Amino acid sequence: MSDRITIIGAGAWGGALANLTQINGSEPTIWSRNCGQILSESIDNRVAIISAVSMSGVRAVIEQLTGFIQPHQIIVTATKGLDAQTNLTPAQLWRNAFPNNSIVVLSGPNLSLEIQQGLPAATVVASQDSVAANKIQEIFSSPKFRVYTNDDPVGVEIAGTVKNVIAIAAGTCDGLQLGNNAKSALLTRGLAEIIRIGQYWGGKPETFYGLSGLGDLLTTCNSPLSRNYQVGYGLAQGRTLSEVLGDLKGTAEGVNTTKVLIQIANQHQIYMPITVLVDRLLQGQITAQAAIISLMSRDRKSEY
């Protein structure tokens, strides 16, 4: 019998995930706010529930499902972001609401449009429950989508979340036409920031060099398909943040993620100079050109 699953979110990412599960014969039900169905009824007899909504919608979805999810159902979070009210990750929100369920994080270098075009890609499914991770690996794996398991859901989730901030900086770099040398330096030092705050959250260092870390960073920071990249590129062209966001098809999670990261970094004295400048750029406190000058003129220091 094929696996019956529910995918919450009918955007480009939710649609791409649905297409992937169908390759292996799964029967996905796609739910959205406008589908006319009651969410709690859409998860009956489902093996897994995949959340592919934007960060702003996660808590609302959880509230609608409270009291309806059964302990045997696997919850998969495919959202990259941080909750502005609690500073929690999507997986932490799901775990707090459903402590008896297995939570799996799905994250990697996965541009929705390329997946929908049938181009090859790879991703990571991470959970402390290896049986649940293996099941989700089975559901999504196909000749064009390679799925790896991982036992570090915190690291996988934080890597995919924080890289969106670095992608804004990367788009700014390209928008200013600063060249490959500057771009490589930016990504390398950006990865250092991801690892630094990722270890604060409890992530394993090696996770950040994998698909969900370095892999996702390279993809998001080098593709115009990335909404976060588009934000940085637009700001570098002299456009306002509201103008750039108004033209985006979907949510650039890095914008809100930056605000939360700054709060956490300040509270725990975590050194994140790129994130600080991205925050100032988003708030209109500094120009893209001035941000680059600030990065280049910092105090001399050892690389490690």
Q: Could you tell me which of 17, 106, 139, 63 has the C-alpha nearest to residue 9?
A: 17
Marked catalytic residue, from 80, 135, 144, 163 = 163
CA angle at residue 89 from 251 to 226, to 5 degrees?
A: 30
Task: Return the HEC string of 260-281.
Answer: HHHHHHHHHCCCCHHHHHHHHH
Q: Could you tell me which of 234, 122, 215, 109 has the C-alpha nearest to residue 170?
A: 234
Which residue is listed with tokens 């004295």? 269
Structure token digits, residue 12: 């480009």
Alpha carbon separation from 14 to 1, 11, 101, 105, 275 (Å, rounded): 23, 5, 21, 15, 28
Q: How many other β-carbons are positioned within 10 Å of the β-carbon of residue 269? A: 6
**What is the C-alpha to C-alpha distance for residues 247 and 206, in angstroms, rounded to an integer?**
37
Give yes or no: 144 in active site: no
Which residue is listed with tokens 């991982």? 150
**Helix %, strand %, coil % of the chain (to 5):** 55, 10, 35
Q: Which residues form the catalytic set?
A: 163
